[in-house]
Amino acid sequence: MSSESNKPPATDHRPLTTVTIAGLKLKNPVMVASGTFGYGEEYSPYIDLNRLGAIVTKGLSIKPKMGNPTPRIIETPSGMLNAIGLQNVGIDAFVKDKLPFVRQFDVPVIANFFGNTLEEYGEAARKLSDCDGVHALEVNISCPNVKEGGIVFGIDPKAAASVISLVRKSTKLPVIAKLSPNVTDITVMARAVEDAGADAVSLINTLTGMAIDVRTRRPRLANITGGLSGPAIRPVAVRMVWQVANAVKLPIIGIGGIMTADDALEFIIAGATAVQVGTANFVNPTATMEIIDGLEKYLIDNHIADIKELVRSLNIQASH
Amino acid sequence: MYQVKSRVIKNEEVAEGYFRLSLECPEVAEKAGPGQFVMLRVGNSYDPLLRRPFSIHRINKWSGIEILYKVIGKGTGMMAHIKAGEGASVIGSLGNGFSFTEELGEALVVGGGIGAAPLLALAEKLTGKGIGEERKVIVFLGGKSKEDILCVEEFKEIGAEVQIATDDGSLGHKGFVTELLERYLGQPQGTAPTRIFSCGPHLMSKRVAEIAKKYNTPCQVSLEAHMACGVGACLGCVIKVKGSGVRGQF
Ligand SMILES: Cc1cc2nc3c(=O)[nH]c(=O)nc-3n(C[C@H](O)[C@H](O)[C@H](O)COP(=O)(O)OP(=O)(O)OC[C@H]3O[C@@H](n4cnc5c(N)ncnc54)[C@H](O)[C@@H]3O)c2cc1C
Ligand SMILES: Cc1cc2nc3c(=O)[nH]c(=O)nc-3n(C[C@H](O)[C@H](O)[C@H](O)COP(=O)(O)O)c2cc1C
Ligand code: FES
């Protein structure tokens, strides 16, 4: 018996793929991850930016930053280590030279930013809120590649909370706290930023790692250590999203090694309302488009009318 | 700039450990210039995960491009096994490439080892293949041993003069290729506008830039860096540039 032909038509309409994160409405849950998509223009020859759920910018700071010495990038099994060092043009140049380009598209722009001090986080949040065309802020408290900023706030719940509450006070835009996986218990961090007023959490940033050239006995990155990304980190990221989903009520943006629609679905089922695609852009610039199409196909094939039904739908009943 | 699924026309070993890959990708070829590169991916494996950057070795405007590569690791090892008719994903053409103006009277082209790869496309343009321009093109090729001296016949065929240096003296001058360049520039020079182009290992490029400065000759060096995206999105490939007259590829 052919079960295929006996099924009722999937749905009369296309399934709903829109999701809302902290009041920000996205046409689909697929965003690009900070630092892997430049400022938007770099990949515009390859894909239609209008189709993305949102664009997250490279991490921005008040002053421009030169970044780390090279090599900054090295490949590892099913992944890569990077130690870019948060190189960026600075908020002023971003607003003047980069933002006008992405503003032409019908896609929300999420500004990812960091500060070297607590005060800088507040100042950066204020500056970014003042400019037309930024729709939400993603606070990077988790970059492993710079000594001064980022990670110290990302591994101490009290410090993380103080950053988020200051940012919260400094802006009316939705505040997304980007969490570091380099902690013993990520739910502690998630609760801390929830209590401090974050509207959403995104996770994970890269896992700290290192690689050595055994012939020369030298580190393969000039910075010695770097952040691991790509398919290699996906199981860790899915686990953390699932743990955080059980610990907080905030919407979650799942990140880590997403290459295909199935990978994105793992995160959504584990508890993510939306996802970000990072390293996959380098390998396949059209990955996001294929993921968006793949998600829609999954919904149609499985007779699901609205993608929101899938969020936190993990089935942990014993299988028979 | 395009991302295209191209078809392999030919993949042949041209010297021990060196292969020439011809790819059908007219869109990329049409826009490509010498000194530019492509990001290549063969297969769908996650290991190796990232695309590999390769210079455009030759441009056949209506059909595609050729790549000349040296097998050194996983990615190039996989490439060596790819056969005619199979697919390869190409992103290109990328980077600034070499540039020169019509008035250029003399071009000194310096290549070290696999660095010769992009210089053939350059020399083809310099010798004005098909247009019949008059321009002196001298290609200086260096390498460890005679096996590492690539494309001598191809350079000669298009009318370039070739000078060779090897570390072990197995072919041409025994010593560095930069010594040949310096010897040439040390001779009495004509008045034709001259420019140096170079691609090769870092130390060679550095020496070429020093010589260019000493003889007050404009110079373009093509440099390599570890890359992830190739398009300017990851900021992985920055290169510190000192002094003037030197321009990175990216
Ligand atoms: C703009 C550009 C143009 C290039 N053009 C050519 C070309 O025309 N022909 C050609 O044969 N090669 C070219 N290369 C180099 C080529 O990209 C590398 O040889 C290739 O990526 C190696 O891949 P693999 O997987 O075989 O080696 P891997 O297994 O990745 O590496 C083997 C070893 O080589 C080192 N290595 C890998 N890539 C580089 C690099 N880019 N610089 C320094 N060390 C490296 C690794 O650290 C490792 O020790 C170019 C590189 C760049 C950046
Ligand atoms: C080259 C590179 C640069 C990155 N830069 C930033 C950054 O500036 N700010 C940030 O919050 N995350 C940054 N990230 C982390 C990514 O946004 C993402 O969290 C991580 O790479 C995991 O996702 P992936 O496996 O899909 O790449 C960067 C990642 C890479 C690979
Ligand atoms: S490889 Fe140069 S910016 Fe990504």
Of chain B, the percentage scoring pLDDT greater than 70 comes to 93
Q: Would the pLDDT of B241 be above 60? A: no
C-alpha span between B63 and B60 (Å, rounded): 6
Cβ atoms of B25 and B59 within 8 Å: the answer is no
> Is residue A2 predicted with pLDDT exceeding 50?
no
Pairs of CB atoms within 8 A across A/B: 92
Whether pLDDT at A38 is above 50? yes
pLDDT of residue B130: 47
Catalytic residues of A, by residue number, are 143
Confidence grade of residue B102 (pLDDT, cut at 50, 70, 90): confident
Longest Cα–Cα distance of chain A, Å, equals 68
DSSP H or E segment with residue A298: helix A287-301
> What is the per-residue pLDDT for A64?
95
Query: Which two tokens mark B110?
Result: 């310096």
Which CATH number is B106-222 given?
3.40.50.80
Answer whether A59's CB lies under 8 Å from A35's CB. Answer: yes
B16 touches chain A (CB under 8 A): no
Name residues contacting ligand 1 (CB within 6 A): A 75; B 37, 48, 52-55, 68-70, 72-77, 114, 117, 224-227, 249
Q: Residue A174 pLDDT more than 50?
A: yes
Task: Indicate if the pLDDT at residue B25 is higher than 70.
Answer: yes
Q: How many CB atoms lie within 10 A of CB B154?
A: 21
List of residues 6+ apart from B48 with CB closer than 8 A: A75, B74, B75, B78
> Which residue reads 């770097």 in tokens?
A226
ipTM: 0.92
How much is the average pLDDT of B108-125?
Answer: 96
As annotated, the residues of chain B forming the CATH 2.40.30.10 domain(s) are 2-94
Read off the DSSP letter of residue A283: H
Structure confidence at residue B250 (pLDDT): 35
Q: Kindly state if the Cβ of B229 falls inside 6 Å of ligand 3.
A: yes
Percent of the residues in chain A that have a pLDDT greater than 90, as a whole number: 88
Higher pLDDT pick, B222 / A10: B222
pLDDT score recorded for residue B61: 84
φ, ψ for residue B228 (rounded to 5)? -115, -55
d(CA A170, CA A122): 6
> For residues B165 and B174, is the Cβ–Cβ distance under 8 A?
yes
Model confidence at A3: pLDDT above 90: no
Task: Provide the pLDDT for residue B103.
Answer: 86
In 3D space, the residue among A159, A46, A167 whose CA is nearest the CA of residue A112 turns out to be A167
Q: What is the mean pLDDT of residues B130-150?
A: 86
B8-22 mean pLDDT: 97
Length of chain A: 320
Chain mean pLDDT for chain A: 93
Pairing relation of β-strands A30-32 and A24-26?
unpaired
| B128 pLDDT tier (thresholds 50, 70, 90) | confident
- How far, rounded to the nearest angstrom, does the alpha carbon of residue B203 sit from its chain's CA centroid? 16
CA dihedral (A160, A162, A163, A167) in degrees, to 10, reads: 140
Question: In angstroms, what separates the C-alpha of A289 from chain B's closest C-alpha?
Answer: 13
Nearest CA-CA distance, residue B232 and chain A, Å = 6
Of B67, B54, B53, which is closest to residue B24 (Cα–Cα)? B67
Contact status of A64 with chain B (Cβ, < 8 Å): no
Question: Residue range B48-66: average pLDDT?
Answer: 95
What percent helix, strand, coil does chain A show, rounded to 5? 35, 20, 45
Is A94 within 8 Å of chain B by CB? no
Domains and CATH numbers, chain A: 3-310 (3.20.20.70)
- In this structure, the number of other CB atoms found within 10 A of the CB of residue A122 comes to 19
Model pLDDT, residue A9:
52
State whether the beta carbon of B175 lies less than 6 angstroms from ligand 3.
no
Give the helix/strand (H/E) hosting A80: strand A79-82
A318 pLDDT exceeds 80? no
- Residue-by-residue DSSP string for B26-40: HHHHHH--TT-EEEE
Start-to-end Cα distance in chain A: 24
The stretch A305-315 carries a mean pLDDT of 97
Half-sphere exposure of A241 (CA within 13 A, CB side): 35
As a whole number, the mean pLDDT across chain B is 91
Lowest mean pLDDT, pick from A16-30, A85-99, A264-278, B226-240: B226-240
The Cβ of residue B174 has, within 10 Å, a number of other Cβ atoms equal to 12
**Residue from A140, A141, A125 nearest A173 by CA:** A125
Is the predicted pLDDT of residue A275 greater than 90, yes or no? yes
Per-residue pLDDT of A18-35, as tens digits, reads: 999 989 999 999 999 999
CA distance A248 to B90: 43
Q: Do A72 and B227 touch (CB under 8 A)?
A: no
Please report, as a single letter, which amino acid is at residue B61. K
Q: Is the pLDDT of residue B199 over 70?
A: yes
For A235: left if phi > 0, alpha if psi spans -120 to 50, otherwise beta; the answer is: alpha
Measured distance CA(A9)–CA(A230) in Å, rounded: 37
Rounded to an integer, what distance in angstroms lies between the CA atom of residue B168 and that of residue A265? 58
Strand B52-55 vs strand B37-41: parallel, antiparallel, or unpaired? antiparallel
Cβ <8 Å between B233 and A231: no
The token duo for A235 is 């199981």
Confidence of residue B243 (pLDDT cuts 50, 70, 90): very low
Alpha helices per DSSP H over A176-228: 186-195
Binding-face residues of B in 219-248 toward A, CB within 8 A? 225-239
pLDDT at B245 over 60: no
CB-based contact (8 Å) between A294 and chain B? no
Q: How confident is the model at residue A194 (pLDDT cuts 50, 70, 90)?
A: very high
Please state, in angstroms and as integers, the Cα–Cα distance from residue A200 to each residue in A119, A231, B250, following that order: 22, 24, 37
CA distances from B139 to B107, B116, B157 (A): 8, 9, 12
The Å distance, Cα A36 to ligand 2 centre, comes to 6
- What confidence category does residue A218 fall into, taking pLDDT thresholds of 50, 70 and 90? very high
Q: Does A105 touch chain B (CB under 8 A)?
A: no
**Closest CA in chain A for residue B44:** A283
- Amino acid occupying residue B108: L
Name the nearest CA neighbour of A27 among A47, A46, A54, A48.
A54
Residue A289 CB partners (closer than 8 Å, separation 6+): A47, A48, A51
Angle of helix A287-301 relative to helix A261-270, nearest 10 degrees, comes to 60
- Rounded to the nearest angstrom, the distance between the alpha carbon of B227 and the centre of ligand 3 is 5
The answer to whether B225 contacts A285, with C-beta atoms less than 8 Å apart, is no
Q: Where in chain B is the domain with CATH 3.40.50.80?
A: 106-222
Q: Which long-range contacts (CB under 8 A, 24 or more apart) does B68-73 make?
A: B68/B14, B68/B18, B68/B19, B68/B20, B68/B21, B68/B114, B68/B116, B68/B117, B68/B120, B68/B150, B68/B151, B69/B18, B69/B19, B69/B20, B69/B21, B69/B114, B69/B117, B70/B17, B70/B18, B70/B113, B70/B114, B71/B17, B71/B18, B71/B19
pLDDT reading at B188 higher than 50: yes
The number of beta carbons lying within 10 Å of the beta carbon of residue A170 is 19
pLDDT for position A150: 54
Q: pTM to 2 decimals?
A: 0.94
Question: Mind telling me how many Å the CA of A43 is from chain B's nearest CA?
Answer: 8
Any idea which architecture B2-94 has in CATH? Answer: Beta Barrel (2.40)
**Average of per-residue pLDDT across A113-122:** 92
Alpha-carbon span A170 to A162, nearest angstrom = 12
